[in-house]
Amino acid sequence: MRTPGSLLVAAAALTGLLSSQALASDDVASRAFRALRETRPPDPAANLPRFQSTAPLVPRVLIAGDSWAQYMWDDGSHNDILDKFGHGDKRALSLSLSSDPGPGYSGPEYAISGSQARHWVDTAQYPWIANMVAALTDNPSIDLVVLSIGGNDVLAGKDSGGWYKDMDLDVPGSEQAFFDRLEQDTFTIMQAALNVRPDVRVWISSYDYPNFNVGFWCFISACPLRRNLSRDPDNDLITDEEINAMLVSVEQLRIGWANSDPRILYDHGLGLMHYYYGDGVSAPGALPHPGQTPPDYLPMPGGNPLRPSLRSNFRRPNGIDADPIHLDYEAYQYKITNQTQATLFPDFRVEFSESFPSQGTDRDGWTNGTSVGSDAVRMGATDGLRRHGILSFNTASIPDGATITGASLYLIRQSASGSNPFVSGDQGSPQLDVVRGTFGAPELEASDASAAANAVDAGAFAGSAFANGYAVRVDLSAAGLAALHDAGTTQMRLAFASAGTGAGTHEVAFADGDA
């Protein structure tokens, strides 16, 4: 996220071990995926808000589908990345299971490890579609479903009704029939979500190149899966390149599905790990980043389709490096950052007519009522003295008499000391004051801490400032909007309601306009 240090945005309008032999029926796929199951439970706090927000928390994103959906939710990554981008008040929501319990289960979850699209549409045996619909119905503010489904169908292989190499040599036309079924099943799932409300959109979440080269632990999952993806595994075992080519074909089909309906979106992440980590030959950043622009999403694919993703990108369930499919926490963080940059942040920020970086120099900084500093915009307290962050904007380019329908202030954490008051709440709620003009002189003054403002406590804060680089967003109230100066300078003052009770310094420092 390339954003000036301070920015004012004005808005217009995986537990059994398997042999390496192929197994019959659904056992290959289901047992292989259970072999990858992480037996340690997920962190129940992973998706809890960690900040003292004065903005209302609103569910906006539903995460549904297979093991990729389950891991993304259990990791808490969507909510973490939304917080990082200053939109932690927009919450992701899901309910997950780490293993498909099989037909007849009646629980409420809808992010199910090992689930396949063909299971989802068997509504007499599986409740997944009904559960997803119920979650959307119960949360009317959700307008985007991140759907990760179909990957398990593909990897199910020949003994489990999935795709496998040269399957047309066994039954002519069977490959196309498989893809037709996958498309029909996926559309059945998507349409069930779209039918809930006219504003709901479905975002098809792509997969990335797997890596079946797990060495000693291959017998757990990767070897049975590779054999089951091969028509003649003893003489013509499917290669990494051929598996990748299959994924490319599937993702190209998904692009076509998305282009068929304006309410269906596509998240292109095929080759994303190669872009961020390299492929073992090319360095990070050297291979193509997956394209994000419809209708073709060029370059498609990203990365290097001739090589697998690096083994270091994959999960180690129970500490065992056996998983050929599921990305680790850090890699999913990159995937979700990519989703956020491409779609979530622009969507949640809404279109804006103008942006203003703060002025920096001696016009941005802090005061505690006695001293001033221009090294950063600081909020918090030191030994009982509150620190007030001061920001200056030249807002003269706002058209005279314009009606400003919304404005948001974005602050990027630069450093922190002691306990973070945005997380601890020890200093009460954060507050924003706005003055039409300046609090005194345009330059920082100690008196800026107590000078009168045109709008007091005039913003709703969202964000934890959890780590360096995390953003906090402040949405201005009607009074704050009215105080924006369309003919000169607008200054803003940020502070917590109290100094708290702790000795020492407990504050967050944000980058100023010089950053």
CA distance linking residue 221 with residue 212, whole number of Å: 9
pLDDT at position 502 is: 75
Amino acid at 230: S
Angle at 33 between CA 31 and CA 37, to 5 degrees: 110
> Which pLDDT belongs to residue 6?
41
The confidence score (pLDDT) of residue 35 equals 61
Other CB atoms within a 10 A radius of the CB of residue 56 amount to 9
The burial of 399, by beta-carbon neighbours within 10 Å (0-12 exposed, 13-18 middle, 19 or more buried), is given as exposed
* β partners of residue 412: 471
Reading the chain (515 residues) residue by residue, the pLDDT tens digits are 333 344 343 333 322 222 223 333 344 445 555 666 676 778 888 998 887 778 899 999 999 999 999 999 999 999 999 999 999 999 999 999 998 899 999 999 999 999 999 999 999 999 999 999 999 999 999 999 999 999 999 988 888 889 999 999 999 999 999 999 999 999 999 999 999 999 999 999 999 999 999 999 999 999 999 999 999 999 999 999 999 999 999 999 999 999 999 999 999 999 999 999 999 999 999 999 999 999 999 999 999 999 999 999 999 988 899 999 999 999 999 999 999 999 999 999 888 999 999 999 999 999 999 999 999 999 999 999 999 999 999 999 999 888 999 999 999 999 999 999 999 999 999 999 999 999 999 999 999 999 999 999 999 999 999 999 999 999 999 999 999 999 999 999 999 999 987 789 999 999 999 98
**Alpha-carbon distance 318 to 16, whole Å?**
12
pLDDT of residue 3: 38
Handedness of CA 294, 273, 336, 138 (dihedral sign): positive
Instruction: For residue 218, count other CB atoms closer than 10 A to its CB.
Output: 17
Q: Which residues contact 339 (CB under 8 A, 6 or more apart)?
A: 81, 146, 203, 205, 267, 269
Q: How far apart are CA 44 and CA 61, in angstroms?
A: 19
Specify the pLDDT at position 4: 38
Residue 304 Cα distances to 229, 252, 270, 309, 316, angstroms: 21, 16, 9, 9, 24
Residue 457 phi, psi (nearest 5): 50, 55
| 3-state SS assignment for residue 283 | coil
∠73-31-334 over CA atoms, to 5°? 30
The secondary structure of the chain in percent helix, strand, coil, rounded to multiples of 5, reads 30, 20, 50
Buried b (16+ CB within 10 A) or exposed e, 136-166: beeeeebbbbbbbbbbbbbbbbbbbebbbbe
Measured over the CA atoms of residue 302, residue 306, residue 312 and residue 317, the dihedral's sign is positive
pLDDT confidence of residue 12: 30
Burial class (CB in 10 A: 0-12, 13-18, 19+), 183: middle
Partners of 65 in the β-ladder: 111, 148
